[in-house]
Amino acid sequence: MTILDIIYDVNYLKEAINFPNENVVAGYPYYTIFNRRLSMERIMYGWHNHSVNMLWYMMVFRPDTPEVVNRIKETELEWNQELEVRALRFLFWLAVKLQYKLCVPLNNSVSTIDHIDKCSEVFKKKERGILQLSLYGDEVVNHEIHRASINTIPYFFVGATAMILLVFFAVLRYKQVISFNIYGTMFLTFWTVLCPLMAALMSLAIFTLYGIPINCMMLITPFLVLGVGVDNSFLMMHDWFQSKEIDGSGRLSVVLISAGPSVTLTSLTNIAAFLIGSALSPPDVRSFCLCSALALTFHWIFQFCVFAPALLRFHCCKYKLPAAVGQTQHFRAYSPAFISYSWFLRKRFVRLLAISVLLIYWSVSIYSAIQMQENFSPRKTFDTESFLAKSLDRYERVFADHEMIYVIAKELPKDVKSLYQVEATIHSLEYLCDNFTTWMEDYEAEYRPTGNNIQEYFSELRTFVDSNPDLLRRVMFDVKDDESMVVKKVSFDICVQGTGKWRDRAMMVKNLRSRMPDGYSIYVYDSAVFDLILSTRRAMTKSVLTTLACLILLCVLFIPAVHATSVAVISVISIAIGVIGGLGAWGADLDVIVMVNVVMAIGLTVDFTAHVSYRCFSGDPNESRVEKVAHGIEMIAFPTALAALTTLLCALPLYFYRVYMYVFFAKTIILSALLGYLHAVFVIPLLVSLF
């Protein structure tokens, strides 16, 4: 009778459970069947007083064809859906039972709150006492992520609707040009919205044409480009309706000369930010970044080739225009409010107060950013109230009890002394399970080998493997003609405890890797997630610096003054520091989601900084510094406010969604819009007045 016959014979299992004897003994850490020991350390968790809290089974498949792989994935989803339905039915049944049988009846002497608290307490106790099944696998996680992305559509639809309404009412501001023509307002609103949507849809179509799968995150692209793309439209509209040129082609030329460089700068910076994000992100996030970069490229083209010609419909003048460009340029009448504001920024006490506030703002933001901890969990990508999220709670409780780490020796130790050094290193680990021994130590305790030759040390290994069949997966050996065994490679498990959280496990793996001798490597199923956690700080620093370098290069190319470039770069760095620090204070971890959001935010904030910097340092060289600042603020204050509001409205509904990834996307947009606008109308004019 083989060990497999014993395992698959249900009678032996029943005997072990109901009639323990010397032949079949169910225990921990070994399950003994006819003097053969099977390790239970990867199966039983929470062992205490001969009872187990949790059982963990891992199913491994070796499919031969892609059809088998697809069938395995389908089966995984079917199992998960069945478990989810069963869990919902059980919770409903238990709730009804507790309400009518187990809870104290509500009477005048018991308050409603006390009654609910008592029922909740009893409910939790009963729920913990019932067998609960859950399934965790890659396909289940992918399905939940896809479901979470689909569920964002209503939120984006609400935001997009609010944004379109804002665009409509913003266009009505130019009613003196449109002459209260509702069709003209709708026409301009239509083209303002159509260009970004058309760009996003073309990007998705190209990805589909080339056979690249459209993942869940790429569905965000149309709404993202819509929220960002209308910013340039507002700027061009404002320049168009404020232009002094009567002729349509002349007015369009003035608009393109005035707004073209800053629009191009912001578009290219956004594209560069997403390209950098794609180079440093996981595959799904990489596809989203590339799709967004392509969509923003199309929108940049449509902005000049589609939206700008649409403005020609409104070139007719139905109000008294000021003098044409070039006739009274040196006597331009600036708004008194903006002139007064420009003078206000030049006051000594205002500068000192503003610089003090900026220093405090930078210090607090940097401190908050430094305090952010590297962390990531799959639950950040799907609904926190989903069945899978609750399954992950059990997943973490499993590893909080203990976790088995697979250690692989690349080569067989050269002698027994080297093997002893490895064992000493293992026992020096402060997170090693109590009373844990490796199979080599069990082998030594049973056979007491002597000498320093490693092959002689393992001379009885064949007999030991016969009584411990699990070692067939841990030892690589050859059998000679005389039936002696030659060991070629070995591997073993070590047991660690107290590291249930994902970050704690990642830090433990990092520490373990650093302490293992050369020639040994470790494997954990979640190593990919751990590496993502451990590399985030370095990757984020690299991505932010690379994005800023691209920004500096683009600013040098498109902004005609060194002072303007310096002001724009300082402002972007200031906003980026504020966004990172704000996210840290708002509860964000340092993870790949925040990294992509920050890189995106740097690209978005250029919309606020480049326009005003360009306006403040361009124009008539004979204008005074006060006039330049007043002119810059007057030209960008209203369109920038509209840009911030539209971006906010598009993303704000996601703040109320129950998925970390989308909530912090909304938080990033909120911080970028608020800080960007404050820098555009206050910080940048202040810095310009200082130079």
* Peptide bond just before 29 cis, omega within 30 deg: yes
Highest mean pLDDT (candidates 70-84, 123-137, 395-409, 552-566)? 395-409
C-beta contacts of 385-388 below 8 A and 24+ residues apart: 385/658, 386/144, 386/147, 387/80, 387/83, 387/84, 387/87, 387/134, 388/80, 388/136, 388/140, 388/141, 388/144
Q: How far apart are CA 15 and CA 332, in angstroms?
A: 99
Q: How far apart are the first and last CA of the chain?
A: 90
Q: How far apart are CA 204 and CA 291, in angstroms?
A: 7
In the predicted structure, residue 316 carries a pLDDT above the cut 80: no
Q: Which residue in this structure is represented by tokens 């665009």? A: 167
Q: How far apart are CA 445 and CA 491, in angstroms?
A: 18
Identify the pLDDT of residue 96: 57
Q: How far apart are CA 139 and CA 145, in angstroms?
A: 10
Confidence of residue 10 (pLDDT cuts 50, 70, 90): low
Highest mean pLDDT (candidates 310-314, 352-356, 412-416)? 352-356
CA distances from 618 to 28, 559, 610 (A): 78, 8, 12
404 or 315, which is more confident: 404
97 or 160, which is more confident: 160
CA distances from 99 to 96, 116, 129, 384 (A): 5, 10, 17, 26
Dihedral sign, CA of 591, 592, 594, 599? positive
In the predicted structure, residue 597 carries a pLDDT above the cut 60: yes
Extract the tokens encoding 131: 């067998």
Percentage above 90 pLDDT, the chain: 20
Highest mean pLDDT (candidates 94-103, 356-365, 544-553)? 356-365
Q: How far apart are CA 615 and CA 632, in angstroms?
A: 5
Identify the pLDDT of residue 120: 55
In the predicted structure, residue 512 carries a pLDDT above the cut 90: yes
pLDDT single digits (tens) 425-456: 999 999 999 889 999 999 999 988 888 888 88
Closest by CA to 633, choosing from 684, 675, 674, is: 684
- Cα dihedral angle (199, 205, 206, 209), rounded to 10 degrees? -170
Identify the pLDDT of residue 671: 94
In the predicted structure, residue 375 carries a pLDDT above the cut 50: yes
Identify the pLDDT of residue 1: 45
Q: What angle do CA 538, 544, 546 make, to 5 degrees?
A: 100
Closest by CA to 688, choosing from 270, 362, 260, 354, is: 354
Identify the pLDDT of residue 9: 54
Identify the pLDDT of residue 599: 83
Across 239-250, average pLDDT: 77
Residue-averaged pLDDT of the chain:
81
Identify the pLDDT of residue 135: 78
Percentage above 70 pLDDT, the chain: 84
Extract the tokens encoding 195: 């260009």
Q: How far apart are CA 315 and CA 178, in angstroms?
A: 10
* Alpha helices in 402-483, H assignment, sequence order: 416-427, 439-447, 454-457, 461-467
Q: How far apart are CA 590 and CA 506, in angstroms?
A: 14
Q: How far apart are CA 530 and CA 375, in angstroms?
A: 9
pLDDT single digits (tens) 106-146: 444 444 445 445 555 554 555 555 667 777 777 888 888 88
pTM confidence score: 0.80
In the predicted structure, residue 638 carries a pLDDT above the cut 70: yes
pLDDT single digits (tens) 166-175: 888 888 777 6
Instruction: Work out whether strand 403-409 and strand 520-523 pair parallel, antiparallel, or are unpaired.
Output: antiparallel
339 or 205, which is more confident: 205
Contact 332, 244 (CB under 8 A): no
Across 630-651, average pLDDT: 84
Extract the tokens encoding 396: 């973490």
Closest by CA to 362, choosing from 543, 540, 581, is: 581
Confidence of residue 329 (pLDDT cuts 50, 70, 90): very low
Q: Which residue in this structure is represented by tokens 């050369």? A: 518
Among 418-422, 581-585, 686-690, the range scoring the smallest mean pLDDT is 686-690
Helix (H) or strand (E) holding 119: helix 112-128
Q: How far apart are CA 167 and CA 186, in angstroms?
A: 10
Q: Which amino acid is at 661?
A: M
Closest by CA to 689, choosing from 261, 331, 350, is: 350
CA distances from 170 to 259, 315, 409, 608, 682 (A): 19, 18, 68, 18, 23
Q: How far apart are CA 532 and CA 336, in angstroms?
A: 54
DSSP label of 469: G
Q: How far apart are CA 591 and CA 374, in angstroms?
A: 6
Confidence of residue 320 (pLDDT cuts 50, 70, 90): very low
Q: Which residue in this structure is represented by tokens 């402002």? A: 571
- Cα dihedral angle (442, 443, 446, 447), rounded to 10 degrees? -160
Closest by CA to 543, choosing from 602, 480, 457, is: 602
Identify the pLDDT of residue 619: 59
SS3 589: coil
Q: How far apart are CA 572 and CA 608, in angstroms?
A: 9
Identify the pLDDT of residue 510: 93
SS3 626: helix
Extract the tokens encoding 165: 């309404």
* Alpha helices in 474-624, H assignment, sequence order: 502-515, 527-558, 562-585, 592-617
Question: Across the strands, what pairs with 523?
Answer: 406
pLDDT single digits (tens) 255-305: 888 788 878 888 888 888 888 878 766 676 788 889 989 999 999 999 999
Contact 600, 647 (CB under 8 A): no
Confidence of residue 244 (pLDDT cuts 50, 70, 90): confident
